[in-house]
Structure formats: structure tokens, C-alpha cells
Structure 1
């Protein structure tokens, strides 16, 4: 009965149904893990995570961050407030990587960034921008340029020109000069401001983060 009722297309109804899973022991926990991984509603995922946490904190810890932490980003993107969504993305990425105090990512943080959280942020950007913005879109741009031989700085500049962070042959744009609307170039957002500019080495930190889309462990 639980599985049948869970198929309800209304997420609010699914939220009412899934607490029943706690009556089914390990089978119910496995069901909730499936909901957490596969449901298309962050709200439903958040309830599933909370229910798992109430039964087994250690297990919940292995499942990554609570989906509830992404609800603010979802709300900002739904209302197409792309500038605030970009800032929220930076906040989330630093929180997930436990780098809030430092305010930037190192290359090692980007390389070890959890794939599920990366995927969640990306899916929200894709969904609410009509597939114009998102880290996986930036990864496609990265991939399209990587075949061309050039040094790191040249590659970074080519990438930035392609996504509109730098005018061709001219200066880099300041943050407030970015285009926080759907008329921006494909891959323009999220810019994020996670600190790759301060760290040297061109776009090494960003590209390490984007390489997460090579490793499909989601």
C-alpha cells in the first residue's frame, strides 16, 4: 500500500505518506533511502532525510547533506532571482566543503567535493534556467575547449570569454557587471565567487569542481 500511495504526483501528498515507512523496519529505511535519492521534490527528500535521521544518525551521515539546505536556492531560482541564487550557491558550496571560515575553495576541496550535493545544485540551476545555466553546462563548455592546445592561462581566458565573464580580448567583468538574467550567455551562471581568482593557477579550482561531472557516482 505504501509504495502504491507514494506514486501520488502531488509532493504534499507524498510527504503525508512516507512517514509510514518507519513501520516497516529495515525495508522501510531502504524505501526512504530510495525516496531521498530519486524523488524529484526537494521537500519530499528533506522529509525522507529527517525520518532516516530520527532512526539512524550514523546512516544519515553517510547519505550526505540534508536536502533541506538547498530549499533557499530552489526558492530563489524559482523566482528567477539569479543574483541572490548565485550568492546562495557560493554559501552552499562553502558549507558543504566546510570552508565557510576561509571563504574560498582550494583545489583539493574541489577535487573531493561530494558528487550528490554538486548534482543537486546543478539540477536546480538547470531546471529553473531552462538548461542555460548550471555547472554541467559549464562543464560542456570546458569540454568543448579542452581539445585546443594552449597554456592554462589561455585556456582559462577562452573559457571566461565563452561564458561571458570576460570580454573577448579585453578585461574581466566585475561581479556587478555580470548578467543575472536569462539573456546571459549559456553557462554564465553560477559564477559563485568560491575564490578561484585569489588562488592563482587560472581556473584550476573551478575546473577541478566541474570534473565531478566526469565521475558519475551520483
Structure 2
């Protein structure tokens, strides 16, 4: 298994690794330099965990297929592949490096987008999807994480074609089970179902829902007993036209949705009926480069310069937490997280966190703790990772037993329908995405005064913080 470190080179010194750009359950993306030209590039490959899986060969074939899909695409709003190569049995995909962040990080840092800005981004991604569909493929994983936004511009780019598939209109086929809850339509939960361009319509509408409200839509499989709140419920500045278009695009029955991206875009901007919006001429695939070829990457940013940012509004020393994480001492880091959070919250003499303490927890300290977990787990652990999963399942700041249990199942805190005790928790990177930190869920150590179950304090309040 191979993990690249800063300074390592690939392809006989052609590329030098700089840092990690993002990582997820399957892939990892590095920032690299092409030494001859001095150009910054992004290099993507399968992560160390996937390299150790028994079905690694199948997963790598999917990775190669993604590269070929991207190699066929030449569109201003689809990330460009420059080169793909195999080294020591592992495939790498060299892509253009786009400075900036994905839309999920933009929301964390700057909050919801203005309606016009959100529509501009969705228009550009819609144009990219129209092109992708014209090549005979569905993307099947449209979400804010897979849309990159360069700084000071709305020229968004679509990335991650790891679960893209060919489609034939009206044909029922067997499909893989990869999906992102909150953005995937009902048909993606079925192994055999008809899928067409309306499948990406649902996800694009869900993405617009999220970037205008900062709320992950209720996952499709729960909408039979929990109605989807209109986006205007969370943001009253959303126009009636856009509110209704989003709800139409997220209809559960495919036949009730706009059948194409063009139709959906026309609902958002009906003024332009002459084809100017969402109906641009399709570009032909590039044939000037020979390409050889991932699976989903969450693109959680882990810039190296952040690793030494131990900022605190309460003069808390986060050095020990950083050192434990850096050394991969996950259980020690987990307990240290509880300790420093108690210090930063400045709790009462009782020595535990109450819901008010969570609500008033200093933003700087919360971001420092979260970023340390993200950095040293390569985007696998951290409160913001847990927040994303929790909200995908329909979680809010208010306790809901069904959602909370589903969350526990998802992150591996429950097995066989029962909550695991702290001693049974797995403290390594095989624990699953969002598995750590966990100490806050199990209990708070009250410095010699016993234990307090965190369920009663409202960990769900922490996972609903907008500054995560």
C-alpha cells in the first residue's frame, strides 16, 4: 500500500508531491508540481484503505473508467484531465488544479449564497451536465462537494465522475449502490431501475436547495413519512419561482420531474426561452491527447499550512491534541478532545457541557479542533464530517430517535441495533468515515465526579452548528 508524502516524485521525477488536497472513502487527491513547467496540478489515486481491500482490482477498474470518461470530456465547466499513468501497480490521474474550495466548504466559510449567485453556479453545472449527457453518461453524484469554485469567480467546475455510468433512455439496468444521501433520487436506491437524465435533475435541484439554505435535503428514502420542507422555510429570500422549481426537480416520481437538465434550467430562468440558457452547442470530445485513467472523493480540504494553526479564543493549548493526532494515537486524541472542549467552553464548576455551552462554544476553538481532526485523518474524521452525515439523514438540533439511531449505525457507533460502549469502539482508520471523535457521544469524564451520558446534553446541537 502506498501513501505519498510531500517531496516524493512520480513518473521519473516529472511530478513532485506538495500536499494533500482532499480525501474520502475511496480516493485521495494531492497537490503536485510538474517540474518542467512549474505548473500546479492535482493528482488523484485510490487511498491506502482501498489499496488494502480484497476487491481492490475491481475498484481500480472503476477508477480507470472514470479517467476515460473525463478524458472524453472537453467542457469549460468539467475538470480537465491532462495525463493518466500507472506506477508500481497503482493508477494516477493528473488533472488541472483549481484553486479555491468545493461548494460545501464555501458554505461553511461564507454561508448561503445569494439566489442570483446560486443560479449562476447551477446554470454552469447544468451546462456541463447537458454536455455529459450528450456523451451518453449520467454523473449520478451531483452535490456541493463535487463542484469546485475558484476564488473571486462563479466559474464552477464539475468533478468526480467515479460513479458515472452509461445510460440508455427507458432501459432498466443493474446499477452499483454508491450514492450520496440527500442528493440521490429514489431510483438510485434500487439495484434495478430505469435511469435517465431526470436522475441528475434531482441531484442538481437538491444541490441548489443546499446552497441556498445550508440544509441537506431529507434523504429520499425517508420522504415517505417526512415531507420535504420547502427551501423558503429556511431562507425567505428565495423567490417563489426558484422555490417551486427546486421542489419540482426533487419530485419523488421521475415522471413528475423535468425530464432533462434543459427543462429544469428553464424553470429557474423562464425569461430566456430561445435556448440561451442550458441549451448551448455541445462541444466535441478532445482528441489531441492520449489518456489512460476514481471513485468518490469528498474533497475535504486539508491544507498543510492549517496544521500549525492552533488558534483559541480561550487560550487553550491544542498542542497535545495535534501531537496525538499526528502520531495516529486516536484514542488519546479522542479523550484529549473532550478535555480541551471542556476548557474552551469554560463550563460551570460541575465540569460537564450543557446544551447552552455547546451553543455558545467559541467558533475559533471549534474550527481548530475540527480542522486538526480533518488534517490528520485525511478528511475521514471530524465534527464537520459527522455533521454532513447527520444532516443527510435529516438530523436537526432537536433530538429524533430514528435519525439518531440511523446516524449511530452509519458512523459505526451501533452494532446489531445496540449502542457500543466506549471500550468496544474501534480506534483506527478502519472505523469508517465519521467514526471519530466519539468520546463526546459516549460520556463526559467529569474530573473525578463520574460520567454523564452525552445524549442528554444534546450532541445533535453540536452537529447542527453552522460554523462547522
Indicate which of 200, 211, 217 corresponds to 2:464.
Answer: 211
Unaligned stretches of 5+ residues in structure 2: 1-304, 445-451
Indicate which of 289, 306, 325 corresponds to 1:40.
Answer: 306
Tell me how far 1:65 sits from its aligned partner.
Answer: 2.6
Question: Between Structure 1 and Structure 2, which shows a larger proportion of strand residues?
Answer: 2
Indicate which of 434, 448, 453 corresponds to 1:198.
Answer: 453
SS at structure 2 position matched to 1:130: coil
- Asked if the contact 1:160/1:166 (under 8 Å) is kept, the reply is yes
In structure 1, the residue matched to 2:378 is 130
Aligned length: 155
- Cα distance, 1:215–1:76 mapped onto 2, change above 3 Å: closer
Tell me how far 1:146 sits from its aligned partner.
Answer: 0.7
More relative contact order, 1 or 2 (CA 8 Å, 6+ apart): 1
SS at structure 2 position matched to 1:92: helix
- Asked if the contact 2:413/2:425 (under 8 Å) is kept, the reply is yes
Distance 1:199 1:182 in 2: 23
SS at structure 2 position matched to 1:211: coil
Tell me how far 1:144 sits from its aligned partner.
Answer: 0.7
Tell me how far 1:74 sits from its aligned partner.
Answer: 0.2
**C-alpha root-mean-square deviation of aligned residues, in Å?**
2.8
Within 5 A, what are the aligned runs for 1:37-116? Answer: 40-42=306-308, 64-66=313-315, 69-99=317-347, 101-116=349-364
Tell me how far 1:200 sits from its aligned partner.
Answer: 5.1
- Asked if the contact 1:91/1:100 (under 8 Å) is kept, the reply is no
Distance 2:341 2:424 in 1: 22
- Asked if the contact 1:106/1:199 (under 8 Å) is kept, the reply is no
Distance 1:155 1:76 in 2: 32
SS at structure 2 position matched to 1:121: helix
Are 1:180 and 2:427 counterparts?
A: yes
- Asked if the contact 1:94/1:105 (under 8 Å) is kept, the reply is yes
Distance 2:380 2:325 in 1: 13
- Cα distance, 1:190–1:199 mapped onto 2, change above 3 Å: closer
SS at structure 1 position matched to 2:419: coil
TM-score scaled by length of structure 2:
0.31
Distance 2:425 2:454 in 1: 21
Structure 1 residues 129-158: Cα deviation after superposition (integer angstroms, max 9, x where no partner): 11110000000111110179xx71122111
Tell me how far 1:168 sits from its aligned partner.
Answer: 4.0
Tell me how far 1:66 sits from its aligned partner.
Answer: 3.1
- Asked if the contact 2:306/2:371 (under 8 Å) is kept, the reply is no
TM-score scaled by length of structure 1:
0.63
Tell me how far 1:176 sits from its aligned partner.
Answer: 1.2
- Cα distance, 1:100–1:80 mapped onto 2, change above 3 Å: farther
SS at structure 2 position matched to 1:207: helix
Worse overlay, 119-128 or 192-201: 192-201
Larger Rg: 2
